[in-house]
Amino acid sequence: MRPLLLIDFGSTYTKVTAVDPDQEAVIGTASAFTTVATDIGEGLDKALLSLESRTGKLDFESRLACSSAAGGLAMMVSGLVPELTAEAARMAALGAGARISRVFSHELSDRDLVLIMEDLPDIFLLTGGTDGGNREVITGNAEKLASLPVRFPLIYAGNRSALDDCEKILSDFPLIVCPNVMPRLGQLLIEPVQKEIRKLFLSRIVHGRGLSSIRELLSGILMPTPSAILAAMTLLSQGTKTEEGWGDLLAIDVGGATTDVYSIGRGEPDDVNIIYKGFPEPLAKRTVEGDIGVRYSFSGIVDELGLEGLAQRTGLAEGEIQKLLADLMSDRSLVPGTPDDQLCLLDHALASGAVDLASRRHAGCLEEVYTPMGPAFVQTGKNLRSVGRIILTGGSLIHSAAPLDIARAALYSPAHPMSLRPLEAEAFRDDRYILSAMGVLAEKEPDLALRIMKKELVSLGHCRQNPN
């Protein structure tokens, strides 16, 4: 046996997965609290001891890792128009596994500069204007950034006509130049930026997160954790030359602070009478909802559903829900005791609400318009109606007693008829939290990673349109 160790240095937990390539199987998994505030190696050591207690001592052939420790890869992006270059920059950053802390549009203001100084980014992505278009805004923004007393890695991916001026202005920044993320109206070019973001993560951010002290123990730290999950989902969907994939799919990761949604598929209109508006959607898309989580960000769910909505979903009185929410506010580490206790009922409602909200924000939508030929529909965003599989991951979903009910919250609902969410799908659950590990493994052995995912992901059954 030549076992492989796959490590995910998460913001809260460090997760380890041991794989036997010969048997094409997961030998064991374990986790421990991430100890980035002291020595990140301590959390890894504890996770490895826990793993060894289950598998026995293993001599690993290689150790590969991904990381979102200490909050992951924090990026700020700047573009000209919110719906155009700023959105293109945002999509590029999210697809590379970054956490976007700020999105700026038009000219940077003095207040914007204060915000940048208060929360310095790991990387700043500067975009704006199509090639040959507006030069003044991106050049002015470069001058504003150059006026700051600090320096940080900066990626230029804007109007190539302004590049020479911006390179001179930003000459003392660690500057990387990429092709324009939107060279022409309606055209996206985000892959070169994503490639450079990943390089910066490996060369600079890993060191800044304290991971360099244990790099000698690893064969490589390959990517940010969200990028690993997106890679795993792309592999599972598309397959390899020798192993067939599952086709279009949707994956939802509900965490304590955020909810990440991943979709793989073209998402084009499925009716010749539907007019498409906006950017062509990327095949592999990731969105992050920073206001939706079941612990640190539960207020975003409560604001949307209201106490009355939570009462309907849980069967609890509004006063009981208020008390539970107050308990969570004072202690975010609370976990349910038994499947029928009140916190378990609330957790189910919060997780279901997170899936509902995040999937609606991720999916495209239809809008009815009127033309000289009569009424028509306009699609913006990604059409997910034909997606046939939904993957659930995240602690609240993995430990749920009714996961199929939560998966159903990601489907079409008459309450939101214009949302282009799946009509019906088979739901799967990542019971052993292996998706990030498989994304890392996919870099080296994609066929092996694909076959393991097919074995490990647990089918929950088929779910149809939500009747509510």
| Mean pLDDT on 285-290 | 90
Which residues on adjacent β-strands are paired with residue 158? none
| Number of Cβ within a 10 Å radius of residue 368 | 9
pLDDT in tens, 427-458: 999 999 999 999 999 988 999 999 999 999 99
| Mean pLDDT on 160-175 | 96
pTM summary value: 0.86
Residue ranges of the domains in the chain?
A: 4-70+209-218, 73-203, 235-463
Check residue 395 and give its pLDDT.
82
pLDDT in tens, 114-135: 999 999 998 999 999 999 999 9
Buried b (16+ CB within 10 A) or exposed e, 107-116: ebeeebeeeb
The mean pLDDT of the chain is 89
CA atoms of 133 and 187, how far apart (whole Å): 14
Name the CATH topology of 73-203: Rossmann fold (3.40.50)
For 386, half-sphere exposure in the C-beta direction (CA atoms, 13 angstrom radius) is: 12
CATH of 4-70+209-218, one of 2.40.50.140, 3.40.640.10, 3.40.50.720, 3.30.420.40: 3.30.420.40
Check residue 337 and give its pLDDT.
75
pLDDT in tens, 27-52: 999 988 876 666 677 888 899 999 99
Residue pair 313/414 in contact (Cβ under 8 Å)? The answer is: no
255 φ, ψ to 5°? -115, -175
Q: DSSP string covering 271-313, please?
A: STTEEEESSPPPSEEEEEETT--SSTTHHHHHHHHHHHHHHHH
